[in-house]
A and B are shown apart, each in its own frame.
Chain A
Amino acid sequence: MCLILPLSLALVVAVFAMIGQERAMEATVRSYVQTLADNMSFRLNADFERYDNSDLEAFLAPMSHYPVFSWGLSIPGWVAYVNKDGSVLLSSPGVHDISGIWRHNLPIGSAVQVFDHSGDRYTVAVSPVTYGYVVAAVAWRELLGGVMRDEIWLGLIFFVILIGTAWAINRMWRRLFSPLSELANEIDRLRMGKDVPNEIDGASVIEIERIHKALTLFAAAAIERNKLHNYYVQNTVKDQEKERIDVAREIHDGPLQDVTALLQHIRIAVEDGSDVRERIKKTERLAMAVVRELRGLCDELAPPWMELGVADALTELAERLSQNYDIDITTEVVQQTPPLDLGAERNLSLLRIFQEAVSNAVRHGDATKVQGRLFVEGDSRAVFEITDNGKGFDPGVDHEILRLDGHRGLANMTERMALMGGTFQVKSTSAGGTCIRCVLNNAFEKSA
């Protein structure tokens, strides 16, 4: 469309311009031949009066000195003196026979267009003179050259428009409609998250290529996301299964054994009858052990003291970890008015992160001191910083690679923070010490 419109418009304008020009030329030529014919007839008549006009032959001989008869015209055309039958008496050089354009009914005093036998166009003017007529004519074929003779050029322009249009339509089809419909089919067929679109063949307009490129990028991203999602789901399922197995094993190895032993002691007491008191005392001790084990298991699975709020929960966790690892672990929550209430889920996440960080610091960093600090920064940001005095590590290491190697700590912490819409940063050097900085935006929003 962008090609065919201006092209056609230019051609139409050209046609109009040419038609206008031809008309002007025609008027000029008509007036020219008329003037020429009238002028020559006037001169010849005047000459006839001066000479004895009984002898035509004698009269004609000197007339040939007129330049129009001896040299011809300066433009393509000629002048002839003909008798009443149209036979040439005198003429511009090269003109002997005008029977092709001669008509008896040619009007006098007004130039007309005449076509000869071969279809060539002439503008002809006739002016009466003694014994005959002066005929002046301009041949358009010679005046305009080969191309412009007749109306060939009009047909040519039409042809050019036709070719141009066909070419433009063809180009539009190949570069616009065909790729567009191919693209539409491609989109219909495309299974997002599974396929990438095929290359579109042939050259298409740049816009379609760009759309195709964008589509390819989207499709590739969808596949990537799909893969990642599957990977996470698999991971989650694996984690869940592992956790179930772990919990089952702990129950099996701990409370289940103890309760079994308890049951055996009760049965012995019932059947034996002697030393009942002593045996019941034993079962009491066993039952206490079961309670402790179950309590520990509950603490590990989901610490019930979570409900005390983040400050007390963190302190409790720090004190428990401190006793487990036998190192100095402290936490501090800078109090706010109103108090910072992150909600149970976010509290638990921070607790788990702290747990993980302490475990990393002890196991990998040989730290002897870990400190957690939760405070509010700005209007709405909660920051949880965990620093240790361990060996440190290279923080540039890719969490995903670590995760694939089975070290999930850093990746888990990052994911926990991401799930809460927060950020997770590790600052560490091989020189020693690690600082983990978790930032929660919108800390005062309950919904998060």
Chain B
Amino acid sequence: MPIRVILADDHPLTRAGIAEFLKRESTLELIGEAEDGLGAWQMIQEMKPDVALLDIRMPGFDGIAIAQKIKEAKIPTAAVMLTSYDAQRYVMASLRAGARGFILKTVTPKELTSAITTVNKGGFYLDPEAASVMGEREFVPEQLSTREHEVLLLAAKGLSSKEVAAKLFISERTVQTHLASIYDKLGSRNKTEALLLSLKYGVLSLEELLED
């Protein structure tokens, strides 16, 4: 049974291009196209597709808002962001909103298929172009301590160092020390990279991230 996909993008040429990719793939079935956020949300509610490819910038709701709505309505659709922007914070914002994937519009057909298949199986997929740290490299991260894991998870949920410190009853300086050690262990240069790498290496799971 092919994977049922809907595509939402307000740019007709891009939509046509991506749709062309999808139609060529026999394992995928494009069951609907929307040109704005409202249409996309309606389609998702009615059709409950397996995967929704959502542009981030759209009239009506943006892609991240729709991912949030899918999460809140507990609809079994995997949201995948499809965007022109390569900002890593978009990736983080999307993942926090419940998106399972983040791909750029310059994606190759092979990568697109791979992304859709991955998220449909419950995994998550990040475009290496958007999250450069996600590229292929052989690296086995050092095990994080329990405390470091806690710090990383809270930071991933968007808490500031001060708030993490308050929540764990430790000083802000200690939080900074933990973060520095985490960066080192994961081989990241900053917080966003650390979060993305921890997801990649399975140090954190998307489910953990989405827990309240």
Contact = CB atoms under 8 A, between A and B. Distances in A.
A325 to B, nearest CB: 12
Contact of A334 (B90, B160, B189, B191): B160
B90 A305 contact: yes
Contacts, number: 56
Given A305-B89, A315-B89, A295 B84 contact: yes
A57 to B, nearest CB: 141
Interface residues of A, number: 23
B89 A308 contact: yes
A113 interface: no
Q: How large is the interface on B (under 10, 10 to 19, 20 to 34, 35 or more residues)?
A: 20 to 34
A288 B106 contact: yes
A313 B89 CA distance: 7
A181 to B, nearest CB: 66
A295 B86 contact: yes
Contacts of A335: 158-160, 163
A26 interface: no
Contacts of A307: 57, 62
A322 B85 CA distance: 19
A335 B84 CA distance: 29
Contacts of A308: 87, 89-90, 93
Nearest to B190: A319
B92 interface: yes
B117 interface: no
B113 interface: no
A234 B93 CA distance: 41
B92 A312 contact: yes
Chain A: interface secondary structure? Answer: helix
A39 interface: no
Contacts of B92: 312
A330 B92 CA distance: 17
Given A312-B92, A312-B93, A319 B192 contact: yes
B87 A316 contact: yes
A299 B86 CA distance: 10
Contact of A291 (B89, B106, B163, B193): B106
B162 A322 contact: no
A288 B57 CA distance: 21
Contacts of B193: 319
A295 B85 contact: yes
A421 interface: no
Interface string B151-183: 000000011111100000000000000000000
A323 B192 CA distance: 13
A312 B84 CA distance: 18
A334 B163 CA distance: 7
17 contacts: A288-B106, A291-B84, A291-B106, A295-B84, A295-B86, A308-B90, A312-B89, A312-B92, A313-B89, A315-B192, A318-B190, A319-B193, A332-B161, A333-B160, A334-B160, A334-B162, A335-B158
Interface of B: 57, 62, 84-90, 92-93, 106, 158-163, 189-193
Given A295-B86, A304-B87, A319-B192, 7 more contacts: A299-B87, A304-B57, A305-B89, A312-B89, A315-B192, A330-B191, A334-B160
